[in-house]
Amino acid sequence: MNHSHSLWRAEASLLLRSNRNVLALILLLVLSAASVWSGIVQVQDQRATIERVEREQVRDLAAVEEANAGPEGEAGYNAYYAFMLTQDPPPPLAFAAIGQRDLQPYVLRVRALGLQSQLYDSETYNPELALPGVFDWAFVLIYLLPLVVIALGHDLVTAEREGGRLRLLLSLPGNGLWRRRVGLRYTAVLLAIGLPLIIGAMIMAAPAVSIATMILIAALYSAFWFGLAMLIGGATRASTTAAATMIGCWIILTLILPTLAQAVIARAVPVAKGVDLTLAQREVVHHGWDVPKEETFARFFVNHPEWRGQEEFEGRFHWKWYYAMHQVGDEAVAADVSAYRDSLKKRETMTKLLGYVLPGVGTMNVLHRMADTDIQGQLAYQDSIAAFHTKLRQFYYPYFFEEQAFDHSDFAMIPRYEPRSSGGTPPTEALAALAFLSLLVLALGSRRLLNAGREQGGR
Amino acid sequence: MTAVKLIAREEWRMLARNRSGLIATGLLVLLILVAGFTSLESRSAIEADRTRYQASVDETFDAQPDRHPHRMVHYGQFLFRPIAPLAFFDAGVNSFTGNTIFLEGHRQNSANFAEARQSSLLLRFGQLTPAFILQTLAPLLLIFLAFASVAREKERATLKLLLAQGIGGRSLIAGKMLGHGAIALAVGLPAFALLLGFAATGAADWATVGVMIIAYACWLLLWAFASVIISALVARPRDALAILMGLWMITIILLPRALPEAASAQNQLATKIETEIALHRDLLKIGDSHDPDDPYFNDFRDEVLDRYGVRTVEELPVQYAGLVAIEGERLTTQIYADAAQRQAAREREQNAFVHTFSVLSPLIAIRQLSMTLAGSDPAAHQDFLDQSEAFRYEFVQRLNRMQAELLPEIGGEDPRISAAYWQEVPRFSYSPFNPLADRTRIIWPLLVLAGWLAALCVLALFAARRIGGVAR
Amino acid sequence: MTNIFTAPAIAIDGLHHSYGANPVLRGLDLTVQRGEIYALLGGNGAGKSTTLSALLGFLRPCSGSVRVCGTDPVADARAARSQMAYVPENVSLYEHLTARENIGYFLALAKAERGGDAIEAALSAVGLTQAAKDKRLSGFSKGMRQKVAIALALARDVPVLLLDEPTSGLDPRAVLEFNRLLDAAREREVAVLMVTHDLVSAVDIADRIGFLSEGKIEEEQTASTAGPRFDLNALHDRYTLVAGAPA
């Protein structure tokens, strides 16, 4: 016990005496800390933005109420001018994996008009800043950690041979040399990537179990790269060759294959339905003005039979007809909407499948699903907006159809959006696939390393 | 043959016998070609899609029945942004900007359905275009081919042998730089051929393609030279590889990602909601046309009555509501334009902040240059937005004028004008963005690249002197 | 039943080994007793290093048996290796550690932790100055590095010492010191097997000299107790003949 303890200590001091290793580990620690810090700043910015927007919204709604609500107030005008705010606050883990939150809207205002012409509006973002991708903990883990593992692990055997020490090391009666060395590097890497995350999680009060799962994912992903380092390091004779081969693997796994796959997926699953449904919805809504009003009502009553018999009105215009027409527009494109969403989900599914083979992509998928900052999170936000929109319409219908006045007390009763409960759970199959792949490569790598030690000792 | 050429030739022979180097080079060239052709194909597919959509929405616009013109103002027009021909080479921000915009009266809608919002996070790994390969992967290949160029000679002591033959440090470095510089250009050749071929078909103009080729040649040379020089400055090839990999990681992977965070933290963009609310408030400040006591619109009415020489609105030969609509559109457009300009200026500031760091990370310079020339940069998108906004104003006002001028004659409960008029409403015709129009956007990044090359040459002289010193 | 105390320190019996189709050892017989220094001479490719590899358990012989203090290094490498210290050719320990730290570290690896005194003694025994003991190896000459490796072997304090070209990096004076160390080891009943192609240094110190050629011991000579230990001239002629070694 005592003996092995001192051996670990000796190995640790050996590891830390090498400038290259120390530099690589410090770099990883600094980058991990910087990325967590940057993630926290971004999350806090988003929270501040939501608060700012909420304050503006209160003022805006007050102005709408002032202008439109009252004893003579018409519900139609109120529904027309009162944009209701929906917000999607950053989930607890978003600081570690910001995902698409820099592009996707996290505040959106909707009113009781057709939802489909409001739901896909873009939020302002600077495309050139978005282009290179976000700098967050997930990025440091997926892209940069492998390079640190390569720096620490590519020459485990080759450096010993090049230094003339390999046969001497192998001639010693002790055992577990490689296990200790790899284990130590692995632990050091995990500490460097994980500590900032844990501190960040404490600052952001993120749930401990989720953070532990994220560390587990980092551990699996690092295991993959250490396994690969052993596999390649054990099969090559020169450190430079080992380094070059490993960097080649890194390029193929994190740069070339994902971009190729992205191109294939983009071609295989077109998402033009988004445009189609927008165009179709516009046609239906505007066509509504040119067709007999009974026709619009007939289509409206299919899903809203409770208002049947209350469609009569005098004159050319009535709010109940106007809002019914918008609703009919939404309902007319329901098939297009689901086709559009299916195409987005299909792209997600294909990426998920790719993640079963490419550990970088797999790690990305699992992390962002846990953080709930991927497309699926955005779709869930859209779902909650749609549910709220329904609630909003249902609230107004009695006022339209029963021609009630819309007073201040009514205005106060307009439903407000409740943020969805966000935070994804780790997808088990994807996590299992990552674990399988990583442990397989780790096992193959350790076997290769042990054999390499033996074979090369014999030479 | 001079010593420089001899050394360069020896370097080529060495690389020609290096199997893995050949395979890597072959793969990269193949990748450039694959990226070029798939990207070209997908660009034409998207372009065809958008042309088709544009034609079909234009057709449906024409096919609208008799209507009140204001209804057509809100029926609006859809525009699909055409992709610049060279965008196949560098997709720039195209995937991050919306490509469909809905134009209607007194509203400025966002451009929607950006590809990035509809793709999985995979898109953030990069897009397979020749530009991605040249910017990200080609430097790595050049590093691999050149990191050992001089350090190898040092480690195996052949350097002393060479210097003992009377070859100076400068000739040695110059020879290695010549050798690897030529390889760098050769690596770029397939991409350059693709560009030239494209220019030959007339799809892109020669000047743009020429500048693009010069820019990428500088970029590739920069990495070849840097690799040779670092290799000359260190003792062992391994050290050269480590330093060059570090440089690559910092300048190509890390800084381009980290800087935008700093830029957006410094200078935040207002959300669309805040902008809308502020606009609404500004509009109300000017006046409310529905308020009979509103000073602004009362002045406006008096001015109109004066102009037509009548005393009441009812006596006007035109529809007063139409004139108010024209005036309202003018006012809202102005306020919208101011806000849009402020927003664009803020984005430009953010980008300028990032661009200043091109001195540290030349990737930023080549990226900016490349997407500018390809017509896929934010400026080209902004130009489309500006054109579409100008067009929106024109077509909305045309409809408003129809309302003012045609409706009094028709009269009645439900006045509609003939569908034949819709064909008179102008259609959007996009005038392609000329990337060379604003020279400063080309010249600065080119100067940065040239500056890097010049600095490397100075460093090369220093390295040459150190190497020469080894022999003495 | 072989006993660890009675068995010869090194016993190789009819050892055959080949790399692929290329036979290297063809029936090697070799025994080294405790307190004996055996010099195994041979030209390039004679099988010297392969013999050491077999003793260290780095390879599985095709046939024949190898025993180190009665233990089979293939079956129980750890037990065998705990009886042996090995100094490879051109060895260099960790450059960023001092001589003292290097020894401490390797002893820990070998699970043979000694006190600071033992390390001190070993480093002094190989003739490192007090200042050199705490200097990093990166500043050491080839000979000094070799000394550190030998000090490590001494500090292990094991019954069997395997040396691969131990004198190749040493100047004549260092060779003398090295020979004194081997004398001391002999007195401590250590069995030494040194593999070399340097006949002169072997003659100075070895108790027995074996010529390895084509995978077996071609000839063996034992030092005489009186007069010159070996007839150098005769040995040299013989060596050139069997090993094709350079003059």
Closest Cα in chain C, distance from residue A182 (Å): 15
Q: Are chains A and B in touch, 3+ Cβ pairs below 8 Å?
A: yes
Is the pLDDT at B159 greater than 80, yes or no?
yes
Q: Let me know how many helices (H) and strands (E) chain B has, helices first.
A: 18, 3
C neighbours by CB contacts (3+ pairs under 8 Å): A
Rounded average pLDDT over A139-163: 91
The band of A129, judged by pLDDT with boundaries at 50, 70 and 90, is very high
* Amino acid at position B438, single letter: D
Chain A residues whose CB is inside 8 A of the C96 CB are: 17-19
Is the pLDDT at A5 greater than 90, yes or no?
no
Is the pLDDT at B471 greater than 70, yes or no?
no
Tokens of A439: 């442990």
Whole-angstrom Cα distance, residue C201 to residue C225? 18
Over residues B95-127, the pLDDT tens digits come to 999 889 999 988 888 888 888 889 888 888 888
- Which residue on chain C is closest to A451 by alpha carbon? C58
Q: Is A10 close to C92, i.e. CB distance below 8 A?
A: no
Is the pLDDT at C245 greater than 60, yes or no?
no
In sequence order, the β-bridge partners of residue C219 are C211
Q: Number of C-alpha atoms within 13 angstroms, CB side, residue B111?
A: 27
Is the pLDDT at C125 greater than 90, yes or no?
no
Chain A residues whose CB is inside 8 A of the C113 CB are: 3, 6
The pLDDT assigned to B155 comes to 85
Is the pLDDT at A1 greater than 50, yes or no?
no
The pLDDT assigned to B408 comes to 85
B65 at A interface, C-beta within 8 A? yes
Please check whether residue B90 is in contact with residue B370, taking contact to mean a CB–CB distance below 8 angstroms.
yes
Whole-angstrom Cα distance, residue C10 to residue C68? 5
Q: Is A244 close to B67, i.e. CB distance below 8 A?
A: no
The band of C114, judged by pLDDT with boundaries at 50, 70 and 90, is confident
Q: Crossing angle of helices A375-401/A319-332, nearest 10°?
A: 150
The pLDDT assigned to A457 comes to 54
Rounded average pLDDT over C41-55: 86
Over residues B299-319, the pLDDT tens digits come to 999 999 999 999 998 889 999
The pLDDT assigned to C104 comes to 87
The pLDDT assigned to A241 comes to 86
Top-confidence residue, A298 or C44:
A298
The pLDDT assigned to B186 comes to 95
Chain A residues whose CB is inside 8 A of the B53 CB are: 275, 279
Q: What is the mean pLDDT of chain A?
A: 91
| DSSP β-ladder status, C10-19 and C191-196 | unpaired
Q: Which helix (H) or strand (E) is B288 found in, with range?
A: none
The distance from CA B70 to its chain's CA centroid, rounded to whole angstroms, is 37
Rounded average pLDDT over A4-8: 77
Tokens of B17: 């016998």
The pLDDT assigned to C244 comes to 60
Flag the least confident range among B105-109, B226-230, B361-365. Answer: B105-109
B24 at A interface, C-beta within 8 A? yes
Top-confidence residue, B280 or A195:
A195
Q: Which residues of B311-325 are buried (b: 16+ CB within 10 A; e: fewer)?
A: eeeeebebbbbbbbb
Q: Is A265 close to B20, i.e. CB distance below 8 A?
A: no
Is the pLDDT at A349 greater than 90, yes or no?
yes
Is the pLDDT at C38 greater than 50, yes or no?
yes
Rounded average pLDDT over A336-353: 94
Please check whether residue A180 is in contact with residue A337, taking contact to mean a CB–CB distance below 8 angstroms.
no
Whole-angstrom Cα distance, residue A262 to residue A347? 9
Q: Let me know how many helices (H) and strands (E) chain A has, helices first.
A: 20, 2
Is the pLDDT at C5 greater than 70, yes or no?
no
- Which residue on chain A is closest to C108 by alpha carbon? A7
> Of the candidates A365, A204, A193, A103, which has an alpha carbon nearest to the alpha carbon of residue B260?
A103
Q: Is A289 close to B257, i.e. CB distance below 8 A?
A: no
Strands of A62-140, DSSP E = 84-87, 107-110
Chain A residues whose CB is inside 8 A of the B343 CB are: 124
Over residues B407-459, the pLDDT tens digits come to 888 877 788 899 999 988 888 999 999 999 888 889 999 999 999 999 999 99
A283 at B interface, C-beta within 8 A? yes
Distances C21 to A174, A204, B34, C17 between C-alpha atoms, Å: 33, 66, 46, 10
Q: Is C58 close to A174, i.e. CB distance below 8 A?
A: no
Top-confidence residue, A32 or C42:
A32
Rounded average pLDDT over C19-34: 89
Is the pLDDT at B380 greater than 90, yes or no?
yes
Please check whether residue A109 is in contact with residue A61, taking contact to mean a CB–CB distance below 8 angstroms.
no
Closest Cα in chain C, distance from residue A451 (Å): 10
Domain locations along chain B: 2-266+318-471
Rounded average pLDDT over A384-394: 96
Over residues A64-108, the pLDDT tens digits come to 999 999 998 999 999 999 999 999 999 999 999 999 999 999 999
Rounded average pLDDT over B86-96: 94
- Which residue on chain A is closest to C47 by alpha carbon? A459
Disruptive mutation site among B34, B79, B118, B275 for chain A (greatest number of A CBs within 10 Å): B118
Domain locations along chain A: 2-458
Chain A residues whose CB is inside 8 A of the B354 CB are: 128-129
Residues 177-196 of B with CB under 8 A from A: none
Rounded average pLDDT over A5-27: 86
Q: Are chains B and C in touch, 3+ Cβ pairs below 8 Å?
A: no
Rounded average pLDDT over A384-399: 96
Rounded average pLDDT over C155-162: 91
Closest Cα in chain A, distance from residue C27 (Å): 18
- Which residue on chain A is closest to C93 by alpha carbon? A165
Q: In angstroms, what is the C-alpha Rg of chain C?
A: 18
Residues 182-241 of A with CB under 8 A from B: 239-240
The pLDDT assigned to B123 comes to 87
Q: Is B271 close to A124, i.e. CB distance below 8 A?
A: yes
Disruptive mutation site among A18, A117, A129 for chain B (greatest number of B CBs within 10 Å): A129
Q: Is C82 close to A169, i.e. CB distance below 8 A?
A: no
Is the pLDDT at A401 greater than 70, yes or no?
yes
The pLDDT assigned to C36 comes to 93
Rounded average pLDDT over C151-160: 91
Closest Cα in chain B, distance from residue A399 (Å): 24
The pLDDT assigned to C88 comes to 87
The pLDDT assigned to A455 comes to 63
B52 at A interface, C-beta within 8 A? no
Chain B residues whose CB is inside 8 A of the A143 CB are: 253
C95 at A interface, C-beta within 8 A? yes
Rounded average pLDDT over C136-144: 85
In sequence order, the β-bridge partners of residue A87 are A107
Whole-angstrom Cα distance, residue A226 to residue A236? 15
Q: Is B92 close to A107, i.e. CB distance below 8 A?
A: no
Top-confidence residue, C177 or B150:
B150
Which residue matches tokens 């749930």? A207
A23 at C interface, C-beta within 8 A? no
Flag the least confident range among A141-150, A168-177, B43-52, C31-40. Answer: A168-177
Q: Are chains A and C in touch, 3+ Cβ pairs below 8 Å?
A: yes
The band of C216, judged by pLDDT with boundaries at 50, 70 and 90, is confident
Distances A454 to A164, A447, B419 between C-alpha atoms, Å: 15, 11, 88
The pLDDT assigned to B161 comes to 81
Q: Percent of chain B at pLDDT above 70?
A: 99
The pLDDT assigned to B281 comes to 86
The band of C48, judged by pLDDT with boundaries at 50, 70 and 90, is confident
Q: Is C94 close to A14, i.e. CB distance below 8 A?
A: yes
The pLDDT assigned to B472 comes to 42
The pLDDT assigned to A454 comes to 67
Q: Is C82 close to A173, i.e. CB distance below 8 A?
A: yes
Whole-angstrom Cα distance, residue B470 to residue C6? 60
Over residues B13-24, the pLDDT tens digits come to 888 888 888 888
Report CA torsion sign: A194, A196, A202, A205. negative
The pLDDT assigned to C243 comes to 64
